[in-house]
Amino acid sequence: MPPFDVRFVRNLEQARPRPDRSSAPCVACAVRHLTVCAPLNPAELAEFSTIMKRRHFEPANAVFDEGDLAKHVFNVTSGVVKIYKLLPDGRRQVTGFLIAGDFLGLANEERYAYSAEAVTDARLCCFPRQKFEAMLDNFPAVERQMLMVASHELAAAQEQMLLLGRKTAKEKIASFLLRLSSRYRKRGLQDNPIHLPMSRNDIGDFLGLTTETVSRTFTQLKSSQMIRLLAGGLVELCDIDQLEDIAEGM
């Protein structure tokens, strides 16, 4: 048990978000082609950006909590954000690690169905939800893009269910490393020594394991020369073919 309630600290930090209205127009956005904003031309982008604020979150800073009124939707532009659900007794399931280009905040009811919290320093584009939805009426291409994004996420969610329900600890870790590497590659980030900024505990809560099992499994993969743990939270994937075989349960 930690000496004080972690969530309390988190909310303190949340109390001082940093709106960043500076300038930084979306035109220069490095990840736009990956986001829901992809289909917009410069003029449309300008219109869209009028309702948008950029915000910065420090590590362990909550973006929103499950049950909060869903007043905003977000795009991650840098850093890592985790989303998760809790059981009353504190058991936690991390349902995703979001990186640059990922969208979050889609809520079918008026409240968020999950919590979101920065893992690293993170920058998010922040749209008031009502204005965002109103905007969609004028930009059907964005709506279609959102449907595509949602459909991708649905496929990823099914993949994750397969992992959670049917894979062993070793298979889970191998799958996790490969998927992360592949997502980094798609965004043009370094994909072989990959950066793991999240704690073992977060990884465990994502894979349905405990911290200890995650740690032991890393050790195991390390001893069999499939990965190397480098300084700064970097992990080198040494034998990708074998990792892929393991990830698929072969």
Partner DNA sequence: CGCAAGATTGACGGAGTTCAAGCCGAGTGG
Partner DNA sequence: CCACTCGGCTTGAACTCCGTCAATCTTGCG
By CB under 8 A, name the binding residues for a copy of itself: 85, 87-89, 91-93, 95, 106-108, 113-114, 136, 140, 143-144, 146-148, 150-155, 157-162, 164-167, 205, 207-208, 248-250
4's CB contacts (< 8 A; 6+ apart) are: none
241: left (phi over 0), alpha (psi -120 to 50) or beta: alpha
Q: Considering beta carbons, is residue 166 or 228 the nearer one to a copy of itself?
A: 166
Asked if 214 is part of the footprint of DNA (rule: CB under 7 A), the reply reads yes
Among 28, 41, 89, 232, binds DNA (CB under 7 A): 232
Residue 3, binding choice from DNA, a copy of itself, none, Cβ under 5 to 8 Å by partner class: DNA
Q: Considering beta carbons, is residue 85 or 187 the nearer one to a copy of itself?
A: 85
Asked if 212 is part of the footprint of DNA (rule: CB under 7 A), the reply reads yes
Asked if 169 is part of the footprint of DNA (rule: CB under 7 A), the reply reads yes
Residue 200, binding choice from DNA, a copy of itself, none, Cβ under 5 to 8 Å by partner class: DNA
Residue 51's identity, in one-letter code, is: I
Q: Considering beta carbons, is residue 2 or 88 the nearer one to a copy of itself?
A: 88
Q: Considering beta carbons, is residue 161 or 230 the nearer one to a copy of itself?
A: 161
For 192-220, the three-class secondary structure string (H helix, E strand, C coil) is CCEECCCCHHHHHHHHCCCHHHHHHHHHH
DSSP class of residue 39? T
Asked if 88 is part of the footprint of DNA (rule: CB under 7 A), the reply reads no
Q: Considering beta carbons, is residue 93 or 220 the nearer one to a copy of itself?
A: 93
Contact 104, 76 (CB under 8 A): yes
185's CB contacts (< 8 A; 6+ apart) are: 191
Asked if 90 is part of the footprint of DNA (rule: CB under 7 A), the reply reads no
d(CA 206, CA 71): 26
d(CA 27, CA 200): 37
CB of 208: closest distance to a copy of itself in angstroms? 3
Residue 224, binding choice from DNA, a copy of itself, none, Cβ under 5 to 8 Å by partner class: none
191's CB contacts (< 8 A; 6+ apart) are: 181, 182, 184, 185
Distances, alpha carbon 86 to alpha carbons 89, 166, 203, in Å: 8, 22, 15
Asked if 131 is part of the footprint of DNA (rule: CB under 7 A), the reply reads no
User: Which chain residues interact with DNA by CB under 7 A?
Assistant: 2-3, 168-170, 199-201, 208-216, 218-219, 229, 231-232
